[in-house]
Amino acid sequence: MPGFELFGELERKEVNDVLDNGVLMRYGFDGMRKGHWKSRELEIALEQSFNTKHVQLVSSGTAAVSVALASAGVGAGDEVIMPAFTFVASFEAIMMLGAIPVLVDIDDTLALDPKAVEAAITTKTKAVMVVQMCGSMGDMNALQAICDTHDLLLVEDACQAIGGVYKGKPLGSIGDLGCFSFDFVKTITCGEGGAVITNNKEYYTNADHYSDHGHDHVGHDRGAERHPFLGYNFRISELHAAVGLAQVKRLPEFLTIQKKNYTILRDALSQIPEVVFRTVPEGGEESCAFLNFFLPDIDTTRKVSEAFKQNAIDACFHYYDNHWHYIRKWDHLTNLKSLFPISQEVKKGLSYLKTKAFTQSDYYIARNISCLIKLSWTEEEVRSRAAKMVEVIESIVLK
């Protein structure tokens, strides 16, 4: 991660196919295409990769979450339970629909704590969205059981976890709907893009229509298509899909490299007793896009994080002090700073953020360091990096 590190001839070929015929839009212009339908080809390839019946490409991972929820009927006033540790896009995508994000604590998986989810359910709850942060997963069995008991949607935001597996199933394919991002820093990238996956034909049809202004895509005359319901423009372009088509063909190659680099780093850090790795639920396999570990306390973690920077150990994140991935720094959400008036329903629904504490999440995030695994590293570079990380951590924890 990320796939752009290894761009090559296959990506150039797929993009040039699009440039040669000049059709950058995924729909229409059949006669000009010379048989090239990159978006549909990518959807078919992703159906195979994710072992799912239906894939709908969209313009981003954020769009994927909004489209997925809308396709299942989630909207104004509905509550969607989500974790306090994620990217800001998760709550943005929920609020775009007029729905209310209900943030709850994570556990040592760095994903939703099932007990916190159970405690947050109300009569307005329509969905639980587990975010598979940093290449791994939450306790999917427990979360699925909660959703089954309360008749709730289980939505997987697997934007950071392509290639991860739980009990033989690809992450994203376990819940009612799965969401992926193919932005510039993901394991496979389109530059910008995303996907909704599902085994539910109705949700897929709704996602297909909703993401293209409500077009029903029946027939071969776009101007004559009908609009069964309102929709918006969340389309992907053929240029973006072309890059993604090349990248998904290389996904097994990328995952092999990630796992090799991840394993070298993890084996080195496992020598340090003070280092504890995130919990991966039984039956789970990380995508190895990130290596996540806990240190004994926040002071040690901050010192290690700063020392990594000073020693040119890049792409390691202490999310407790990060503005984009943890509730602690989301003042714009807590204070509802928006360019447009927010409905009273949403304002009331989010008022809990003024006083709610996330003590359990603080405990884990304050002690966590998350290290991106790059695809472009040579083995010599990875081993050198591992030795330097061990040296830095030991110099601090052994003082």
Question: By the 8 A CB rule, do 397 and 24 touch?
Answer: no
**Angle of CA points 240, 287, 94, to nearest 5°:** 60
Alpha carbon distance 33, 283 (integer Å): 44
Question: By the 8 A CB rule, do 64 and 305 touch?
Answer: no
Question: Interhelix angle for 379-397 vs 298-310, to 10°?
Answer: 140
Alpha carbon separation from 141 to 133, 154, 162, 274 (Å, rounded) = 17, 11, 19, 30
Residue 127, phi then psi, degrees to nearest 5: -150, 155
Residue 126, phi then psi, degrees to nearest 5: -115, -25
Question: Which contacts (CB < 8 Å, 24+ apart) does range 208-216 have?
Answer: 208/56, 210/67, 210/70, 210/71, 210/234, 211/56, 211/58, 211/63, 211/67, 211/235, 212/27, 215/27
DSSP letter (8 states) at residue 235: P
Query: Token pair for residue 390?
Result: 């061990």
Alpha carbon distance 137, 161 (integer Å): 8
Catalytic, out of 38, 126, 186, 374: 186
186 assigned to active site: yes
Question: By the 8 A CB rule, do 195 and 182 touch?
Answer: yes
Query: Token pair for residue 221?
Result: 């005359």
Residue 358 CB: number of other CB atoms within 10 A?
21
Query: Token pair for residue 222?
Result: 């776009």
**Angle of CA points 235, 240, 243, to nearest 5°:** 150
In the chain, the amino acid numbered 189 is T
Q: Annotated active-site positions, please?
A: 186
